[in-house]
Amino acid sequence: MYLNPGDRPRGNRLALRIAVLGGFAVALFAVLFFRLWNLQVIDGDTYLAEAQNNRTREYRVLAPRGDILDSDGNVLVDNRASLALVLDTSKLPEDEAEREAELTQLGKLVHMSLAKVEKAIAEQEEVAAGAPVTLRRDVSHDLVYYLQENQGRFPGVQAQQVFVRDYPHESRAAHLLGTVGEISEEGLEEARYRGLEPGDGVGKGGVEETYDRFLRGKPGVTRVQVDAFGQPTPGGQLVSSAPQPGDNLVLSIDSDVQEAGEASLASYGRPGAFVSMNVNNGEILALGSYPTYDPTTFTKPLTQAQVDAFNSDPEWAPLSNRVTQSYYPVGSTFKMITALAALEGGIATPSTTIFDNGSIEVAGQPFQNAGGIAYGPVDLTAAMKVSSDIYFYELGRKMNQTDLLQNWAWRLGISQPTGIDVPGEVEGLVPSKEWRDQLYEEAVEEEGAETEQRPWAVGDNIQLATGQGDLQTNPMQLAVAYAAFANGGRLVTPHVGKELEDPAGRVLEEFSPPARRKVEIDPASRDAILLGLHESAQEQGGTSYPVFGGFPIPVAGKTGTAQRPPHGDQAWYVVLAPYPNPRIVTVVTVEEGGFGAESAAPAALRMLEAYFDKEADSVGTSATIAE
């Protein structure tokens, strides 16, 4: 029997198609089943945790910084409760234009541009997505009240309690203490700030910066459960770890001496600086610069105009620490170094006598004493007592063919960083033949023979011998040099940090940096120079006798009057006390303060009075101290 092609059965092809589709469906369901099994069984715990995290928010709780105390335990810096402005970004308008308008208005209220607001949001959300963004700390209550009254215009903006620095004594020791501010974008990349987030506070200058890692503490964490709209649910706090407060930093500062120094400088109304230091271990008793500033200013929002105002007058510069960041000639206070170089280099002996007729002429250039006064024959001790420029001009001339003067200045730390634990110190310059000649050669190559530069001349060494010319140093370096001279040659490392305490007052660590080096000084040289300094301060005819002649504690001091054209003469004074075995050195300088005995010496006197009066009270009698 035969069938027509159209009558043939079609079941085989249909069955094949059904089989293929069925197999594909089985495979698809198998893959889906395996994936569901993988999600629920193998990775179930992981995804469960992530799902739970979607219902929680984690907030960092910043730790209060440690207190900063003086040597007697009095508070110099602590904390006060304040308000920070935080923003819940989930409540910002979805429309871009509306969002920018709201942020612009908010930025104006906290003195931030739109770009700065958006940058703060981006930085903080990068490290803590979903957490409130801190826009500004230490905002006023008036601003908080205004935002609360206009909550409809600024949804998601709230005030949060935080801690900010408090300064009970306002500007006291401001340059030494420093301030606290938000960490910069560059700072987040530094190893010492590892683990910090945008908006965190760090030390800015002073000991706040140097000891930041101890003062900062460790933040805590609070985790709360939220609803679908990101709002905390009732009883939704899941876990909380308290922040750990920073350690307290005890300084070597004597507040009585510090206050006396600051009051003295302020009374002159001229820029200046002072430092008082233990000559044996480098502990700083007082350190200050004038003009100064109130660190409280930097705990509040500042406009750019307010920030610029601090730097509007470079001659005034209240933020500059003139103790460590200045460049000055130091006048006759440098004569101690000149005398030491001449004695140790065999150029002179304590009995070497020079006839001082008031002036000399070298290579056609006249050099004379202040006022042209002639002292007649003077040995080293007498020359130090009356501050005979002619005597030291002659020593400078005799040492011109050597590097004795420069080498001794370098050995005693002039023009070198001292290593003080207050950041930002500068180096300085001890002029030398090599330096001057190289400067001249480079200028000739660039400018030709008409250059204003010149090669080294004997007059340069004569000027250096009296602390003039191109010499550039500062009060801190001068204090270290005199301390080394007083203690027999140890170049101490100045430091203001004394010890760390935990919040309960237990000592955790003591700071005692070693001396940087030892310089060999003949005791006979030291004694001869020290005698001249003592007579200068407390014997009739000495340059500072009118100031220190009646002081009951024996001291050794040196005045200095440095020329700084186009400025007026700068006053200097260095005093070692008590004589003949000094424990402290005090350096004071007053820009355009005239002769050293007119302003710098009286300021140093008030600082020593504060120091010895306090010490006398502690032992019961000043006679014991004098011995």
> CA geometry: angle at 366 spanning 363 and 368, to 5°?
140
Residue 320 and residue 458 in one domain: yes
**Which tokens hold the place of 560?**
């200095």
- pLDDT value at residue 127: 58
Are 232 and 319 found together in one domain?
A: no
Measure the N-to-C terminal CA separation of the chain; round to a whole number of Å: 146
Instruction: Give the mean pLDDT of the chain.
Output: 87
Last residue of a domain, one of 202, 225, 251: 251
Same-domain status, 206 and 302:
no
**b/e 303-328 (16+ beta carbons within 10 angstroms → b):** eeeeeeebeeeeeebbbbbbbbbbeb
pLDDT in tens, 364-402: 889 999 888 999 999 999 999 999 999 999 999 999 999
Residue 460 lies in a domain: yes
pLDDT-based confidence at residue 282 (cuts at 50, 70, 90): very high
R_g (Cα) of the chain, nearest Å:
36
Could you tell me if 229 and 310 lie in one domain? no
Residue type at 265 in one-letter notation? L
Q: Cis peptide before 475, with omega less than 30 degrees from 0?
A: no
- pLDDT given at position 304: 63
Helix (H, G, I), strand (E, B) or coil at 170: coil
The CATH number linked to 129 is 3.90.1310.10
pLDDT (mean) for 215-235: 70
Residue 626 has a pLDDT of 38
**pLDDT on residue 269:** 94
Q: What would the mean pLDDT of 195-224 be, rounded to a whole number?
A: 88
How would you write 523-543 as a 3-class SS string?
Answer: HHHHHHHHHHHHHHHHCCCCC
Does residue 380 share a domain with residue 524? yes
Which H/E stretch holds residue 617? Answer: helix 600-619
Percentage of residues of the chain with pLDDT beyond 70: 87
How far is residue 384 from each of residues 353, 391, 397, measured CA to CA in Å?
Answer: 12, 9, 17
pTM: 0.83
Q: What's the rounded Cα separation, in Å, for the pair 441 and 449?
A: 10
How many domains does the chain fold into?
Answer: 2
Predicted pLDDT at 371: 83
214 and 266 co-located in one domain: no
213 and 275 both lie in a single domain: no
Decide if 364 is inside a domain.
yes
Q: Which residues contact 318 (CB under 8 A, 6 or more apart)?
A: 291, 292, 293, 310
Q: At CA 296, angle to CA 614 and CA 504, rounded to 5?
A: 60
Task: Specify the amino acid at residue 202.
Answer: V
Residue 20 lies in a domain: no
- How many angstroms separate the CA atoms of 425 and 339, rounded? 27
- Are the CB atoms for 473 and 328 separated by under 8 Å? yes
**Among 191, 223, 251, which residue terminates a domain?**
251
> Is the pLDDT assigned to residue 548 strictly greater than 90?
yes
Examine the domain organization and report whether 428 and 450 are in the same domain.
yes
What are the tens digits of pLDDT across the range 399-453?
999 999 999 999 999 999 999 999 999 999 999 999 999 999 999 988 887 888 9
pLDDT in tens, 124-170: 766 556 667 777 777 777 888 888 788 778 887 877 777 889 999 99
What's the CATH number where 504 sits?
A: 3.40.710.10
Q: Are residues 246 and 299 in the same domain?
A: no
The answer to whether residue 471 is domain-embedded is yes
With 60 as the cut, is the pLDDT of residue 7 above it? no
pLDDT of residue 146: 83
- Do 180 and 273 lie in one domain? The reply is no
- In this prediction, residue 558 carries a pLDDT of 98
Of 627, 522, 520, 515, whose CA–CA distance to 580 is shortest? Answer: 627
CA distance 432 to 334: 15
Backbone angles phi and psi of 217, in degrees to 5? 75, -175
Q: Are residues 278 and 220 in the same domain?
A: no
| Distance of alpha carbon 287 from alpha carbon 480, whole angstroms | 13
User: How confident is the model over 181-192, as a mean pLDDT?
Assistant: 87
Q: What is the rounded distance in angstroms from the CA atom of residue 199 to the CA atom of residue 104? A: 19
Report d(CA 268, CA 291) in Å as an integer.
11
- Segment 80-107 shows an average pLDDT of 82
Give yes or no: residues 234 and 368 share one domain. Answer: no
Specify the pLDDT at position 163: 84
Does residue 47 belong to any structural domain of this protein?
Answer: no
> Mean pLDDT over residues 506-524, rounded?
96
The encoded tokens of residue 405 equal 């003067």
Tokens of 88: 């819940």
Closest Cα partner for 164 from 136, 188, 185, 123? 136
Residue that terminates a domain, selected from 209, 234, 251: 251
The closest of 475, 102, 58 to 287, measured between CA atoms, is 475
Per-residue pLDDT of 24-41, as tens digits, reads 777 777 777 766 666 566
Q: In percent, how much of the chain has pLDDT > 90?
A: 60
Residues spanned by the domain of 578:
255-626
- Does 275 map to a domain? yes
Burial letters 197-228, b for 16+ CB under 10 A, else e: bbbbbbbbbbbbbbbbebbbbebeebebebee
Largest distance between two CA atoms of the chain: 157
* pLDDT given at position 603: 98
Does residue 206 sit in helix, strand or coil? Answer: helix
Mean pLDDT within 289-304:
84
Residue with the bigger pLDDT between 301 and 519: it is: 519
347 HSE (CA, 13 A, CB side):
25
Q: How far, in Å, CA of 319 to CA of 311, rounded?
A: 8
- The pLDDT value recorded for residue 95 is 82
What b-and-e string marks burial along 43-71, b requiring 16 or more CB atoms within 10 Å of the CB?
A: eeeeeeeeeeeeeebebbebbbbbbbbbb
- The answer to whether residue 574 is domain-embedded is yes
Asked if omega into 291 is within 30° of 0 (cis), the reply is yes
Residue type, 521: I
Please check whether residue 320 lies inside any domain of the structure: yes
Beta-strand ranges (E) seen in 415-534 are 490-491, 497-501, 507-510, 517-518
Contact between 467 and 562 under an 8 Å Cβ cutoff? The reply is yes
Distance in angstroms (rounded) separating the CA atoms of residues 252 and 250: 7
